[in-house]
Structure 1
Amino acid sequence: MHGQSISPDWQSSMNLSSPGFQFSPINYQALFLSQINTKSLFSCAQTCHSNGNCRIFDFNDQSLLCRLFQGNIITMGSIVPSSSPQSRVGSKKYNAEQFISHGQSCSLCEGSRYMRCINNTCHCEINTYFDGFICQSQKLLGDVCVNSTECRHDLNYTCLPRQQCGPSTFQIGVLVGGYGNGTAGNSLNALYYPIGLYVNINETIYVGDLMNGRVIRLHQGSLVGSIVAGSGTPGASNTQLGAASGIYVDASRNIYASDSMYNRVMLWSKNATSGSLVAGTSTVSGNTASTLNGPSGVVVDSLGNLYVSDYYNHRVMKWAPNASNGSYAAGNGTAGNSPQQLNLPIGIYLDEFNSYLYVADSNNHRIQRFQLGISMNGTTVAGGNGQGSASNQLDTPYGVYVSNKTGALYIADYNNHRVQQWNLGAAYGETLAGVTANSGTSLMLLNNPSNTFLNHNETYLYVNDRSNNRILRFTMT
């Protein structure tokens, strides 16, 4: 916004943007008030001024469409280019004098466009709260709060114990793996930087225990696991894993484990004590069709084709059963942010029914979706608005899981210490677990979450809390 303002003989002034812009709210449904056709920018500003709930407006000089919004223009949306060169965005300017009658007799705020009378006392307008000086816009899901008056009551949000606005039904995490206090270890009830995650139909949890060079299996209700791949001592032999990152478990309980230290994917058959090489050239890194460099996420389709995110090669490779070479499934092998490129991909998710491959494109801070066999151009379905902590941004996403019921994405937003639910087609995500940009060891906090997984019935969300060396489970509501 620029400093230009219009202030006729009203109680308020307006900030105006430069020509050629419109307002893009983070949550359109929550912030949109109404729209009308009006003859001029001035008329649109008058309409907003006369509406006590309106705080933001934009006017399209070609269509003469005037849109009114509530909310805070700085934190609840963006000013973006418009197709109309003379379109503008405006927002009301406020000062403490306009709210000096707050909490006093209604006779002192009679006729005010900023206050309303409730029980003979002057109060803030709907969806705003008094911060001691002025009436501020109430906050949306995931916004930081101190008390519940700051959160949108009409959306049933309250200030949760983690100091974020959200539904009162929010569940704190339940410990299902690791010590739980942030401590790492190598015993059977400990983890050291868990990254890979898989949960089968019986709620048995498989964890890629990165720094311990093993895959741990945890049966439901037990915090003591058993080693089902790797030896627990990192190494390059066929009985070991150097750094167990991504894992996939098929219906026969065969385990595919990517070894990011030794640039390979190993297959452990059920109850086997050693693995066999299925992708990459053991211990040798490279960028050819037969080599990998820092493999991470793995998934296998119903035909036995293996998909591997090749981190340092900025690509996802596909290996047919028993093949010695892979082929490109996503990315072109060169780091970049175009639709054909990836930059340090980590977690992947395969929607085989729709032939979609989802990729956590970590260094582009976005989730890309590729339609297999159709196009090598990816579509950004979450993030992609730069590195950041706003609800329409991500910061180094590590993992992604997609609901089979709703198509919503569940994203391990690593450096924001949160899990974001990004509904199908949405422009922003909602925080389901963790507190944005705040790490900690309590069951309400996360510290670099690295993966997510929904159970078979989608009643629980499992989260690898990497730097807390634990697995947490959250109840879906």
Structure 2
Amino acid sequence: MLFIAAPNATATTLQTTQATIPVCATAIWNQTFSIIAGSSGNIGASQSLLQYPHNVYIDIYGNLYVSDCNNHRIQRYPRGSMFANTVAGITGSAGSSYSQLYYPTSIYVDSNSTMYISDWTNCRILRWALGDPLGSIVAGGNGCGGALTQIYNSYGLFVDNQHNIYISDYQNHRVVKWFASNTTSGILLAGGYGAGSTADKLNHPWGIYVDSNQGIYIVDHSNHRVQFWAYGSLLGVTVAGITGNSGPWSYQFTNPTAITFDPYGYMYVLDTGNSRVQKWFPGAAYGQTVAAAVSMTTAYGLQIDHSGNIIVCDTYNQRVISFGITCHSGNSRVVKWLATNTTAGILVAGGNGAGSTPDKLNNPWGLYVDSNQAVYIVDRNNHRVQLWNNGVISGVTVAGTTGISGPWSFQLNSPTSVMLDPAGFMYILDSGNGRILKWSPGALYGITILTGSFSTPLGMQLDRFNNLVVADTNNYRIVSFGLLCSSATTTTAPPPTSTTFQICATAVWNQVFSTLAGSSGNRGSSTTLLYNPSDMTFDSYQNLYVVDTANHRIQKFNSGSSVGTTAIGTGSAGSSYSELNSPSAIYIDANRTMFILDTSNYRVLKWKLEEPLGIIVAGSQTAGSGLNQITTSYAMFVDNQYNVYVSEYGNHRVTMWLATNTTAGILVAGGNGAGSASNKLNYPWGVYVDVNGTIYVVDRNNHRVQRWNSGAMTGTTVGGSTADPGPYSYQFSSPTAIAFDIFGYMYILDSGNSRVQRWLPGATYGITIAATSMSTPYGMKIGPLGNIVIADTFNYRILSFALTCPSVTTTTPLPPFQATVPVCATAIWNQTFSTLVGSMGTAGSSPTLLYNPSSIAFDGYRNMYITDISNHRIQLYAPGSNIGTTIAGVTSSPGSSRSQLNSPYGLQVTSNGTMFILDTSNYRVLQWQTGEPMGYVMAGGNGNGAALTQIGVSYALFVDVQYNIYISESSNNRITKWSPSNSTVGALVAGGNGAGNTADKLSNPWGIYVTNQSTYIADRSNHRIQKWDFGASLATTVAGSTSDPGAWSYQFNNPVAITFDPSGYMYILDSANNRIVQWYPNAPYGITVVSATMSTPLSMNFDPLGNIIISDTSYYRVISFNIMCPSATTTTTPLPSEFLSYFSRMNQKYIF
């Protein structure tokens, strides 16, 4: 067993989005601690045990994350639980894959439950989304070392609100910052001059904290001090401890490890060697012990939780402990001083000592006095607002829950300010939750009207324009939020909030399902049974919520449990706000606010979890066809503005109900009676709304899916065959539900056929991905792990089809595209090439041979793709292999079906393996997902021609980050652009004026490269490179000599391919000269970087290592010239501005 002595990661974000920790100014901590995770002295790998835990973090919901170092995992303890789930790493399995950890030491969790993990032995920082099986490298990962591309045994980390990572680089005696936009190297911020005790050095730094001015507080472990490095400074200043002088006195530390701050700027340091936590006032010469325990043994982690308790990772005792906070108040009263008497006040509230009974207050803060002299008091430490009417001896709670802080709508967390508007609505500055709540008279909960990146806001007021003005105290600013009166009839088309799930590109689903809830054939109302469940969803904790229709309730099943609890409803049909009547659909947001389609009450309810009542946000509780009513409805969609789209089954329409107007809906689809025409629907069911406001409607009785563009009067069929039910792949039979994944693939629950179909964009048929014996299934969702979850309604159960990814690397975080390949500024390439694939002079169709290879591309996993022209196929080669697999086309079988290719030339591949194939002799571009049996047409496909609905003979293409396709049409002497939203017609972007050598013409164009400003074209028969700015009518020659072929450095002879490196240098495959020329920006000539005996080379690319790869076409092989990087002796020409912005946008999108 290896044990690593590692510290805490203090990782609070700048202007953090989580609630400010409610540490009162008079805080003291109970010296009798409680154990909140692990067991004293007991090592283990079960859910309740730990093995040398190193660090803790508490997320915005109060869940505890522990870096369980020697179990090589991250454990997540739900709030209040002693039993954890493993959310990163594999218990007891150390490793360096993206699914493994190797002695993790530090952790930070952002507001989206994304973890940042210091993976000690692997010398890397992983970013890991909750629920994902893999992490991605965001810092390090290049071996352990001292280069700025490396980290070395780094323990402490800090993540700011831009997701930049500050790393305490222990063995390198420095602190480095890795920007979120650059995961290849960091920058030095502090230390880095070797171990030492002078002001410019550190000695094994551990915990770090970064303030709002980017000043860094560093726990300088082996120097027994805390150093402060102001932003941009070359030297640190000691702010706590004595350099090189360890000890137990109040001015000393012994091997401190962790640091954090409270809202008042007080510093808390875990003084590991003295088994204590020291509180250090700004500028103080010594600290004050606020938590200590003789029984602590080599404690490493420190955090203050959302109640102000001090949490310590007591590492060698295999536990996490909590020291409870207590806040002593002052007079705990409200006193009125008359203007006519300044000598004594009058007691109007409290004054009976600190307490939580109705006659007492505890640290009262804000006040509001109404016209009747009733006093509203923010009772801060009781987390409530008390109303004391004039002359009474006790108060009444009108907001919050006495003594219980929290983030829910019925709770407050250290509130500080209150005011009322003329209508009697109360506004509360909920300081600890960083929000303002509006509380209706007599309401049981408030509504959040404002939230921001506050830091202990203390004051709030309305100005004369009714703008809300907040004193954002610890951000040292006053902020104003302008009053907006939204129109009741318009809204911006929002992006969806129904989650798009991280489904891997090669996803398959296990056809052996598991039952998540209910029992096949057994209906009932017990905690383990269901009665006609019709829909389900998951919250951010992976708890399952089931719409138990015939039981008139919503059942909540904790993750992994088949025993439910009733979250909403009474089990009996009813129409009060606490009851449901045959509910059909559910949506839940990140705050666990539920939207419930209460079908037989003809309404949609908005309901906070754990609250007793819902509120109506759509419908009027009576069936009808007026726009202030809904009728029988079975499905809905909620966008991120909380607008509700209702699929009205009985009214054959879809209506949108704005969050700002719950009294009437807006017709957005159908509404013209039942029918099969494009302007009608026939008993619609499922509905989905995309980021453009486009509505996808499951038109059940028409057995189709209709797409209604925003504002359109008619729909377009995108799945199924109108009024033609059946079992074939292009048909549906009474479909009911719809979902989408991140690739734009559509998933349909084909209820009558008991299957789930996946439809690619533009496809004419679907692929069955899940099927079994079901009985009228109604609901379907993609679960938090990518599993397909189905409400098998009349079998009274919820089914799950588990996602599997055939390759363990299919969801590995993707490397960037060609622009960020490691082509160093001083790069040279070995002139002795190696053959990667094929055999010189030997054409063939076997897995090891090629027949006229052309384009080369790489995906995010370093697989190489080659267009094998005369074999009419695309070949894939795993890294290091020369044995190909045919992944598109049929070997030696040209054809025009969507499963065949005919002399493909051009190819581009996204990081996840989606191919764009220029199918030259079919005059089309196919988009083809690796692993699928066929592609679909994204451009052309209408025969050879010059109309903009056609493409001519073409040899190269380029696909940008929006998936626009640029085609170099050789026979049409032009470049056209085809949008992903319109595959029927292209737009002219260059040339198109016939063959010629003037600035407005091209002659046999070939290779192409597109930036955010310009198109670069290998104008082959003019022997030049043309730069064509967007919208321009003329081009500029940037390389070569027009119509002047030759072998001189300023000339080309039939150039065919072009690309760029990160420095903006252009590389041209000069085919007839058998060379690659590197061309500096604005240079009059190029430099030959690669030259060899080749036969009609047609394509080139950089591989992920910066090697130059060439298709030596007529020699039937692909060859590689390896890169070398000598020491720099000259200054690199700076990157042009257009490339800087373009490369940053393209980062991690494509591998070309």
Unaligned segments of structure 1, at least 5 residues: 1-166, 441-445
Displacement of 1:169 in angstroms is 7.2
CA gap of 1:168–1:250, structure 2 versus 1, over 3 A, is closer
Residue aligning to 1:466:
315
Residues 413 and 448 of structure 1 are in contact (CA less than 8 Å); yes or no, is this contact kept in structure 2? no
Question: Matches of 1:211 and 1:416 in 2, distance apart?
Answer: 24
Question: Matches of 1:376 and 1:401 in 2, distance apart?
Answer: 23
Residue aligning to 2:277:
419
CA gap of 1:382–1:169, structure 2 versus 1, over 3 A, is closer
User: Which of 306, 311, 314 is residue 456 of structure 1 equivalent to?
Assistant: 306
Question: Matches of 2:201 and 2:282 in 1, distance apart?
Answer: 22
Q: Deviations over 1:262-282 (max 9, x none)?
A: 111111123111111111125
Q: Deviations over 1:141-172 (max 9, x none)?
A: xxxxxxxxxxxxxxxxxxxxxxxxxx997441
CA gap of 1:333–1:322, structure 2 versus 1, over 3 A, is farther
Question: Matches of 2:224 and 2:31 in 1, distance apart?
Answer: 27
Residue aligning to 1:447:
297
Question: Matches of 1:261 and 1:227 in 2, distance apart?
Answer: 19
SS in 2 for 1:290: coil
Residues 75 and 84 of structure 2 are in contact (CA less than 8 Å); yes or no, is this contact kept in structure 1? yes
SS in 2 for 1:295: coil
Residues 55 and 302 of structure 2 are in contact (CA less than 8 Å); yes or no, is this contact kept in structure 1? no
CA gap of 1:333–1:210, structure 2 versus 1, over 3 A, is farther
Residue 378 (structure 1) aligned with residue 244 (structure 2): no
Displacement of 1:333 in angstroms is 3.9
Cα RMSD over matched residues? 1.7
Question: Matches of 1:291 and 1:340 in 2, distance apart?
Answer: 21
Residue 476 (structure 1) aligned with residue 325 (structure 2): yes
Residue 280 (structure 1) aligned with residue 140 (structure 2): yes
Matched residue type, 1:331: G
Displacement of 1:361 in angstroms is 0.8
Question: Matches of 2:65 and 2:49 in 1, distance apart?
Answer: 13
User: Which of 202, 205, 214 is residue 345 of structure 1 equivalent to?
Assistant: 205
Runs of 4+ in 1 over 3 A off after TM superposition: 167-171
Matched residue type, 1:309: S
Q: How does 1:33-432 map to 2 (within 5 A)?
A: 170-179=30-39, 181-232=40-91, 233-282=93-142, 284-323=143-182, 324-351=184-211, 353-372=212-231, 374-385=232-243, 386-403=245-262, 405-432=263-290
Displacement of 1:322 in angstroms is 4.0
CA gap of 1:212–1:333, structure 2 versus 1, over 3 A, is farther
Displacement of 1:188 in angstroms is 1.4
CA gap of 1:186–1:381, structure 2 versus 1, over 3 A, is same
Question: Matches of 1:383 and 1:359 in 2, distance apart?
Answer: 12
Q: Deviations over 1:434-475 (max 9, x none)?
A: 24xx4x2xxxxx111212111235x21111111111111112
Unaligned segments of structure 2, at least 5 residues: 1-26, 327-1152
Question: Matches of 1:168 and 1:270 in 2, distance apart?
Answer: 34
SS in 2 for 1:312: coil
Question: Matches of 1:227 and 1:400 in 2, distance apart?
Answer: 26
CA gap of 1:395–1:472, structure 2 versus 1, over 3 A, is same
Q: Deviations over 1:338-359 (max 9, x none)?
A: 12211101111222x2322211
Residue aligning to 1:120:
none
Matched residue type, 1:399: A
Matched residue type, 1:274: L
SS in 2 for 1:415: helix
Question: Matches of 2:276 and 2:127 in 1, distance apart?
Answer: 31
Residues 73 and 90 of structure 2 are in contact (CA less than 8 Å); yes or no, is this contact kept in structure 1? yes
Displacement of 1:384 in angstroms is 2.0
TM-score (norm 2): 0.25
Identity %: 35
Residue aligning to 1:132:
none
Displacement of 1:291 in angstroms is 0.7
Displacement of 1:212 in angstroms is 1.1
Question: Matches of 2:155 and 2:94 in 1, distance apart?
Answer: 16
CA gap of 1:302–1:170, structure 2 versus 1, over 3 A, is closer
SS in 1 for 2:100: coil
Displacement of 1:201 in angstroms is 2.5
CA gap of 1:169–1:289, structure 2 versus 1, over 3 A, is closer
Residues 215 and 230 of structure 1 are in contact (CA less than 8 Å); yes or no, is this contact kept in structure 2? yes
Question: Matches of 2:87 and 2:238 in 1, distance apart?
Answer: 36
Residues 168 and 205 of structure 2 are in contact (CA less than 8 Å); yes or no, is this contact kept in structure 1? yes
Aligned length: 297
Displacement of 1:219 in angstroms is 1.5
Residues 350 and 358 of structure 1 are in contact (CA less than 8 Å); yes or no, is this contact kept in structure 2? yes
Question: Matches of 2:32 and 2:125 in 1, distance apart?
Answer: 35
SS in 2 for 1:363: helix
Question: Matches of 1:188 and 1:376 in 2, distance apart?
Answer: 46
SS in 1 for 2:226: strand
Q: How does 1:19-38 map to 2 (within 5 A)?
A: none
Residue aligning to 2:427:
none
Residues 123 and 154 of structure 2 are in contact (CA less than 8 Å); yes or no, is this contact kept in structure 1? yes
Question: Matches of 1:241 and 1:168 in 2, distance apart?
Answer: 38
Residues 31 and 292 of structure 2 are in contact (CA less than 8 Å); yes or no, is this contact kept in structure 1? no
CA gap of 1:168–1:203, structure 2 versus 1, over 3 A, is closer
Question: Matches of 2:324 and 2:228 in 1, distance apart?
Answer: 27
Question: Matches of 1:182 and 1:348 in 2, distance apart?
Answer: 28
Matched residue type, 1:300: V
Larger Rg: 2
Q: Deviations over 1:268-310 (max 9, x none)?
A: 123111111111125x211001011101111211122111111
Residues 238 and 275 of structure 1 are in contact (CA less than 8 Å); yes or no, is this contact kept in structure 2? yes
CA gap of 1:168–1:394, structure 2 versus 1, over 3 A, is closer
SS in 2 for 1:239: coil
CA gap of 1:431–1:447, structure 2 versus 1, over 3 A, is same
CA gap of 1:453–1:243, structure 2 versus 1, over 3 A, is same
